[in-house]
A and B are shown apart, each in its own frame.
Chain A
């Protein structure tokens, strides 16, 4: 009886500690669940995750968000190999049950399941889970991690960077950004500037895709230091800015093996020409896919 009381008290203490994770799970509709904290051996089966990033500032109604960033990630815990494939946001594709459109519209039209379906049907891959993150979510994630280290390959200069995240600011205003080259430690705001800026680079959105992959690698390096006890502080900071279908077990698995993957074990793909070409459809600028080259490339990395 007394032992049971102490066990219950201990579980209550543990439950209170992980309460932010449960609350985050409720607000984001995730499959987070405390019972999966058991120490069973993590699966070594490869899995594929679709990472989605949206501009969720005040310019957009919360239910009308496009995805500015789509990165397909395949993780093979057995071979310690991972592949990141950036999908151009303006890729002109058939969206299931919607007709043709930019692949970034799929999230607006069908939410995360719609985005997953659009990628699965066009790239002929199976996606196990998704993670969606908003602008503030990325800022908070990086800040909670204590910053992120990246190697800036060339100066990222933008005289028209949107100031839409400033509290009470003009959502259509802008300010100037200069991220200087070399190895740097970026806080959340500067990491967001780095992945979001696109005006001053010859490669436009492709450069942005490359920088997003760099920051993901930096985040991976940061999370390799963390463990499951860090999750409540992370989850508590997001407040609906992150949504995922991943269970806590898989998140724990990812955190546990983040340090096992290093540079050579990570394959990074950006669909630059000749995989894609720029074009116009209905008067708007789009990116046209060459599926005869894309699908064999994708099949190699996402069998």
Chain B
């Protein structure tokens, strides 16, 4: 009897050991990083409010905490008006995206564009909205149809009055064909426009350049070399500094450069590299122009986090990681505004 009991206990112990080995083997899994909702996390305090996007929702980051401003329903690419009192953002749903005006707390005040169609290819996109410096106009990307070449979809930059009742839209840029188009408009106080233009050289290589255009339809001029492959320009509030991401053709790397911007001569100063050595995206200046916020993974292959770095230090500054375990939308640049009055 006792022998049977011992044998039974041994069998149970062996089974438990086998299950334990199974469990322990699972603990060696690296798996992938756990992604949290922004509202479940916190971080260091930054002055003002920073708007970011994750999972189709816009979040505001204030005093080290996130608050969710919209539902998770395709929201992306928010931008603030010059006063910081309202936002414009893209809502992308299936085959279409539209621009909406929102209050600072995320409540929708108006739908600006109406791009939907019941026929898939007749829908339109709207991306990268930005207010003009006086807040009266919206610059944004839109895909005009080429009725002779239905496969051609190149984004162009348009501008229209902020008033949702207005239907007057002006096409500013003419993209190089079959490149995907011109993106990332940054309207200037003096009336011009900075954006990213793409081209394909005779060796089939894609290049991106920061471009400056003074008027709708004018030719414009390149501010950067094709080989530098620069995208995602952003200006400080006083328009003295320009930050951008340049990759020089590297498939998995890049750097954020900050440079003086001279609108009168349509030129840039000597760029200073403030961040490098990893995937970098969507820089944006703080309201005082002294800091650059940007998005980058904290680990190779991980989701994008919010980082900041001084914009003006002469020695290579250390980036400061603001968030952890998030998966921020890297095509939605952080929007950093002054504290609400």
Q: Which residues of A contact B (CB under 8 A)?
A: 2, 5-6, 8-10, 12-14, 16-18, 144-151, 153-160, 174-176, 178, 180-185, 199-203, 206-207, 213-214, 217-218, 221-222, 224-230, 233, 259, 263, 268, 270, 272-273
Contacts and interface: CB of A to CB of B under 8 A. Distances in A.
Contact of A9 (B17, B150, B198, B330): B17
Interface in B222-259: 229, 231-232, 245, 247, 250-254
B303 interface: yes
B285 interface: no
A270 B204 contact: yes
Contact of A181 (B20, B196, B279): B196
A284 B127 CA distance: 38
Given A154-B198, A199-B151, A225-B300, A13 B25 contact: yes
B98 interface: no
Given A157-B180, A174-B120, A181-B231, A13 B19 contact: yes
Interface residues of B, number: 77
A13 B29 contact: no
A268 B251 CA distance: 10
A121 to B, nearest CB: 27
A157 B279 contact: no
A203 B179 CA distance: 9
A145 B180 contact: no
A181 B183 contact: yes
B190 interface: no
B252 A151 contact: yes
B200 A159 contact: no
A149 B297 contact: yes
Interface in B257-301: 279-282, 295-297, 299-301
Contacts of B252: 149-151, 217-218, 221, 263
Interface in B178-212: 178-181, 183, 196, 198, 200, 203-204, 206, 208
A27 to B, nearest CB: 22
Interface of B: 10-11, 13-15, 17-22, 25-33, 35, 92, 94-97, 120-121, 123, 125, 127, 143, 150-155, 177-181, 183, 196, 198, 200, 203-204, 206, 208, 229, 231-232, 245, 247, 250-254, 279-282, 295-297, 299-304, 327, 330-331
A146 B330 CA distance: 16
A270 B251 CA distance: 14
Interface centre among B32, B33, B208, B232 (most CB of A within 10 A): B32
A9 B21 contact: yes
A157 B297 contact: no
A38 to B, nearest CB: 15
A298 B277 CA distance: 31
A168 B331 CA distance: 31
Given A155-B181, A158-B153, A227 B25 contact: no
Contact of B20 (A13, A156, A180, A201): A13
Nearest to A158: B153
